[in-house]
Amino acid sequence: MSVATSSRRKASKRQASSDIEDERPSQSRADEQVEDDEDEPQARRRATNGVKKEKKLDISRKQNTREVGEDDDDEDDDGRIDVENFHDQPLSRADAAKLQGLGRDWNNIAKHVRPNWRVVGDVAVALAEVGEGEDVVNGLVELDDIMKNLIDIGAEMDSHEKVLDEIAQKILQGQEVDDTADRYKEGVLVELRDYRNKTTRQKYAKSEEYASFKSAIWEVQQPDKGMPPITDFIPKEDGDDSDDDDELEMGGVNQNYNCPITLTLLVKPVTSKVCNHSFSHDAIMQSFRGSPSVKCPAAGCTKKFARTDLVPDKDLEKRVKAYERRARRAAENSDAEEIID
C-alpha cells in the first residue's frame, strides 16, 4: 500500500512539471499579445523618446566636431568664414617695416656675394700672364661671359630689394595694399624685363665689377698703356645713343700703385670711403698726428676724412703684388736679353 502511494505521488509531480513546460510557450505568447495590444499613446511616447535620444547624440557629435575644428554644417551657424573666398587684408605699417627688412636682406646677400666675383678676375689675370695663343683668347672670352652673368644675377637681386621697398613705401603713404604677393611677383618680372631689354653697354659699361675685371687683364697685356674707356670693349648696339657715351665711359687712365704720400708702391693699402683714394697704411696714419681728420693727400682732392673712413683694401693689395711680380719678370727677361746680346 505504501509503495503504491509513493508511485502515485511521483507521477503527480512529473505531471506537474510537464504541465509547467506546456504552459511556458502559452505564457510567452500571451506576453507578446500584451505587447502587441499596447495602446497607441504608449507606442508614440516610446518612438518620441527614441527621437529625442537620437537628437541628443547628434548634438553631442556636433559639439565634438566644433572642438576639433571641423566644419559645422548647422544652418544656424551664420558666423562661419568662407576660407575659399576670404580676401587678403590690407597690410599695416608694421608689415611695411617687415617688407623693408626683407629688402635689406637681399641687399646684404648682394654685399656678401659680390666680393667673391673677384676670383673670376684673378683667374683671368693668371691666364693672361701665360701669354698669347688661341687657348688664352678663348679662355678670356669665356671668363668675360661668366663675369657678365654674375652682374646679371646682381641686377636680379637688386630688383627684389627695389620692389619690396616700393611696396613698403606705398603702405607708409597710406595706400591699401592687399595683394602683396602679386605685386611683388609682377614687380620683379617687370624689373627683369626692363633690364634684359637694355643694350650690352647699358648693362655692363657702368659696372665697377666689370671695369675692374677688364682693367686687371689690360694691366697684364698692356702694362705700359692706359686702359681705354670700357665702351671700347663693348660694340655699339641699337639704342646706344652717342649722347650717353660720356656718361657710360669708365677707364682711360693708367693704374697707379704708388702711395700719394711716399710715392712708392703701396704697402698694406687702405682706401678712403670718402674720396676712394688709397694710401700705404703707416704713411696715412702718421698724417693724422693726433688730429681727428685730415685733408686728402692725393693731388687735386679737397675732401677730408677721419681714421674710421679708412678701410683695408685687400683686393688692391693683391693687385699691387701681381704688379710687382710682373715687373720683376719683365726685368729678368730684359736682363736675359742683354746677356744674349
Residue type, 299: A
Closest Cα partner for 296 from 309, 277, 270, 281?
Answer: 277
Q: Take residue 257 and report the three cell numbers written for it.
A: 700703385
pLDDT (tens digit, 9 = 90+) per residue, 49-63?
Answer: 554 555 555 555 555
Among 284, 221, 286, which Cα is nearest to 255's?
221
Confirm whether 276 is domain-assigned. Answer: yes
Residue 251 lies in a domain: no
User: CATH number, domain at 260?
Assistant: 3.30.40.10
Same-domain status, 134 and 198? yes
Q: According to the model, what pLDDT value does residue 192 have?
A: 96
DSSP labels, 175-224: -----HHHHHHHHHHHHHHHHHTS-HHHHHTT-HHHHHHHHHHHHHH-TT
Task: List beta partners, residue 294.
Answer: 305
pLDDT in tens, 257-274: 899 999 999 999 999 999
| Whether residues 260 and 305 fall in one domain | yes
Tens place of pLDDT per residue across the chain (341 aa): 444 444 444 444 444 444 444 444 444 444 444 444 445 555 555 555 554 555 555 555 555 555 444 454 444 455 666 656 656 778 899 999 999 999 999 999 999 999 899 899 999 988 998 877 889 999 999 999 999 999 999 999 999 999 999 999 999 999 998 889 999 999 999 999 999 999 999 999 999 899 989 988 998 888 777 788 999 999 999 988 754 444 444 444 456 789 999 999 999 999 999 999 999 999 999 999 889 999 999 988 999 999 999 999 988 888 888 788 777 777 776 666 656 65
Number of structural domains (the chain) is 2
- Asked if residue 72 belongs to a domain, the reply is no
The backbone region for 133, taken as left when phi is positive above 0, alpha when psi lies in -120 to 50, beta otherwise, is left
Asked if 338 and 293 sit in the same domain, the reply is yes
Q: Which domain holds residue 157?
A: 91-227
Give a yes or no: residue 73 inside a domain.
Answer: no
Query: What's the mean pLDDT when you consider all of the chain?
Result: 78
Q: What is the pLDDT of residues 136-149, one digit of tens each?
A: 999 999 999 999 99
Dihedral pair phi/psi, residue 294, rounded to 5°: -140, 155
Q: Which of 149, 115, 123, 325 is nearest to 216 (CA)?
A: 123
